[in-house]
Structure 1
Amino acid sequence: MQRIEVIAEVLFVFDVFIFADLLISMVETMLTIGAQLVKLRHSQSLTQYQLSDKTGLTRAPISHYEKNRREPDIKTLIMLADFFKVSLDELVGESGGGERH
């Protein structure tokens, strides 16, 4: 019985490490999205209010996305990628460019 408990503990620790890596990856992506939105918005010399007018989003969510308080849903990510003419990968900071989504 002791061997089974040791194996179970090892598997639990392994699962914790996998979950931690996934969580870190999600947080890094979220932080990258905010920075990318600011960068893209500034590249077009837009204020948050102007971006709001052009995209139909209100200014509050834009601010939350940029400050990493919230993460945009996939529909919003696609809309923003289309607006800025970048790929989804570039929007979330996964690449330096390339084909649009």
Structure 2
Amino acid sequence: MLLTNETLGKRIAHYRKERNLTQVNLATSIGIRPGHYSDIETGRKVPRIHTLARLAATFRVSIDELVGKC
């Protein structure tokens, strides 16, 4: 399966919702603006590797799992 910005955003949203986090809470906890985080979930922006690492750590998954490589 090809990883698109939209697919990655949906995966990130899935993990966020699974953990009962709001976009604002998650964005604040990983050190980005809520609007930027929203753009990531909707596929309008691509997260930088350090943002992916923070998301993966928050979700307690590997970056590979987060992007669907496993």
Q: TM-score, normalised by structure 2?
A: 0.86
How much has 1:62 moved relative to structure 2? 0.8
SS in 2 for 1:68: coil
Q: Distance in 2 between matches of 1:79 and 1:50?
A: 13
Alpha-carbon RMSD: 1.3
Structure showing the higher helix proportion among its residues: 1
Matched with 1:61 is 36
Gaps of 5+ in 2: none
Q: 2:52 aligns with which of 60, 77, 86?
A: 77
Gaps of 5+ in 1: 1-24, 96-101
Instruction: Give the number of the structure whose alpha-carbon radius of gyration is greater.
Output: 1
Q: TM-score, normalised by structure 1?
A: 0.62
**Number of residues of Structure 1 aligned to a counterpart in Structure 2:** 69
State, as a whole percentage, how many aligned pairs show the same letter.
Answer: 38
- Which protein has greater RCO, CA pairs closer than 8 Å, 6+ apart? 2
**Large movers: runs of 4+ above 2 Å:** 28-32
